[in-house]
Amino acid sequence: MLKFEDFTPRQMRDLSSVLGVLKKKVRDRRLPRDFGSLLADILARTGEQVCVTFRGNEGSCGVKTKPGQETKSFTLGSNQIFICQKAFTAKHDGKPRLGAILLHELVHTRGGLELDAETFENLLFRGEGARPPDRRDYARFREQDSPGAGRRGAGIQGTWVLMNPRTKEVTDKKIGRHVIHFRPRRRDR
Q: Which residues make up the interface to Zn ion (CB under 5 A)?
A: 117
Q: What is the DSSP string of the chain?
A: -EEEES--HHHHHHHHHHHHHHHHHHHHS---HHHHHHHHHHHSTTS--EEEEEEESSS--EEEEETTEEESS-----SEEEEEGGGGT-EETTEE-HHHHHHHHHHHHTT--HHHHHHHHHHHHTTTT-----HHHHHHHHHH---STT--SSSEE-SSEEE-TTT-EEEETTT--EEEESS--GGG-
Nearest to Zn ion of 2, 117 (CB atom): 117
In angstroms, what is the minimal distance from the CB of 121 to Zn ion?
Answer: 8
CB of 114 to Zn ion, least distance (A): 5
By beta-carbon proximity to Zn ion, the closer residue of 31 and 117 is 117
Q: Which is nearer to Zn ion, 16 or 79 (CB)?
A: 79
Q: State in angstroms the smallest separation of the CB of 185 from Zn ion.
A: 26
Pick 28 or 73: Cβ nearer Zn ion: 73
Question: Cβ 56 to Zn ion, closest distance in Å?
Answer: 20
Closer by beta carbon to Zn ion, 78 or else 171:
78
| Shortest distance, position 112 Cβ to Zn ion, whole Å | 8
- Angstrom distances, CA of residue 164 to CA of 62, 81, 159, 161: 27, 30, 15, 10
Residue number of the CB atom closest to Zn ion? 117
